[in-house]
Amino acid sequence: MFLKKAIVFFIIIENGDGFSAFKRRPEMKLKDTLPTAFTALLACVLLCPAARAEESACKADIEKFCKDVQPSEGRIVKCLREHEAELSAECKTKGEELKDRTEGFKEACQADLDKFCKDIQPGEGRLVKCLKERQAELSGTCTQKIAEEKEEFVKGHPCLADMEKLCKDAEKGEGRKLKCMKEHEAELSPECKAKIADRKEEMKKSGPCAADMEKFCKGVQQGEGRVMDCLRSHEVELSTECRARGLEIKEKVAEFKETCQADLDKFCKDIKQGEGRLAKCLKEHQAEVSGPCKAKIAEVKEERQEKIKGGRMGKMKDKRGETLRGRMKKKGMKGAGAQPADEN
């Protein structure tokens, strides 16, 4: 019973609950989380100049030419490039606009890249991470450009007006503004609600188990662990990537159980699992939660923030210092030696 509860809780910590679109997509945190937005911004400007185009000008083109392309690792951008001659005029114009902005950013920050990141091999978010780690040492020109791009990045976001209107007095930090937005969900503008729905839909199409969910669990209603139960029932048929992800979560759940079982028994034993209830329970008792459990929750959140898209499966080590990919090789899982795709 605990395993199910812990898995649900861990997924909520990692993916967010209810407003997962806000929590998982850095640009939706708007102006309140500079470090995360900084990373997202650099990733957008340096690695995926068509990212914003995906959301508006190129949406119809993506639906037409790249419908079956799984998001992440630049696949959508690459697909659009392959169909460049067939793209709509609106999408082409947006692409040129973003290309110019990208060049302007590179010009402003090239010296910093040469100074701090010259030995960093491009790919798997390494350049982005490098600049983030040197954020305090970046030149004034680069810092200013980042500030300008950050402002542009959030400008016109359909949820910004709602946040200003409904949560203006909410203190920054610890997800208070996001919690406020969730509490006012019924009052959000149709545009903001639509954006959240779009993001949730995007999330369903990305990740190591996306294809498996589409193949085996398409008609399964989300919530109460139903999708996970469905995936478990097809365990032997799952892709290598999805099985690896399952193994990773299972091991994390075991660690979490070891650390937080007493707190769950003490504060949440009568709480029904699902829909973020366990996470909400522990959050409501965060001042009373034991030190080790509090530290474990913080560790999980930090791990999620630092996760480099596409490269974690082969790099992450467990308590024994063994990588997940290494364990896959030992178990003879097909595809364990595959390398993550580089950035486009």
Task: Find which of 17-31, 61-75, 182-196, 204-218 is predicted with most confidence, using mean pLDDT.
Answer: 182-196
Cβ atoms of 49 and 23 closer than 8 Å: no
Question: Per the domain annotation, does 297 fall within a domain?
Answer: yes
Residue 146: which residues within 8 A CB-CB, separation 6 or more? 38, 41, 42, 109, 138
Residue 266 above 80 pLDDT? yes
Q: Calculate mean pLDDT across residues 117-143.
A: 80
pLDDT of 223 reads: 67
Percent of the chain with pLDDT over 90: 6
Residue 279 above 80 pLDDT? no
Question: Per the domain annotation, does 54 fall within a domain?
Answer: yes
State pLDDT tens for residues 149-205.
Answer: 767 766 667 888 888 888 888 877 666 787 888 888 889 999 888 888 877 776 666
Confidence of residue 72 (pLDDT cuts 50, 70, 90): low
pTM: 0.41
Question: Per the domain annotation, does 246 fall within a domain?
Answer: yes
Cβ atoms of 168 and 204 closer than 8 Å: no
Q: Calculate mean pLDDT across residues 331-341.
A: 41
Q: How far is CA 115 from CA 26, 39, 42, 47, 128, in A?
A: 27, 19, 17, 19, 14
Cα separation, 58 vs 90, in Å, equals: 7
As a whole number, the mean pLDDT across the chain is 70
Pair (124, 232) in one structural domain: no
Task: Tell me which of 78, 105, 138 is where a domain ends.
Answer: 138
Residue with more model confidence, 303 or 294: 294
Percent of the chain with pLDDT over 70: 63
**What SS3 state is found at 184?**
coil
Task: Tell me which of 138, 160, 191 is where a domain ends.
Answer: 138
Residue 39 above 60 pLDDT? no
Domain count, the chain: 2
Task: Tell me which of 138, 159, 177 is where a domain ends.
Answer: 138
State pLDDT tens for residues 304-317.
Answer: 655 533 343 344 44
Question: Per the domain annotation, does 185 fall within a domain?
Answer: no
Pair (217, 311) in one structural domain: yes
Pair (132, 213) in one structural domain: no
Cα separation, 181 vs 188, in Å, equals: 8
Pair (132, 225) in one structural domain: no
Residue with more model confidence, 78 or 339: 78
Number of C-beta neighbours around residue 210 at 10 A:
18
Question: Per the domain annotation, does 165 fall within a domain?
Answer: no
Cβ atoms of 252 and 300 closer than 8 Å: yes
Domain that holds residue 68: 34-138
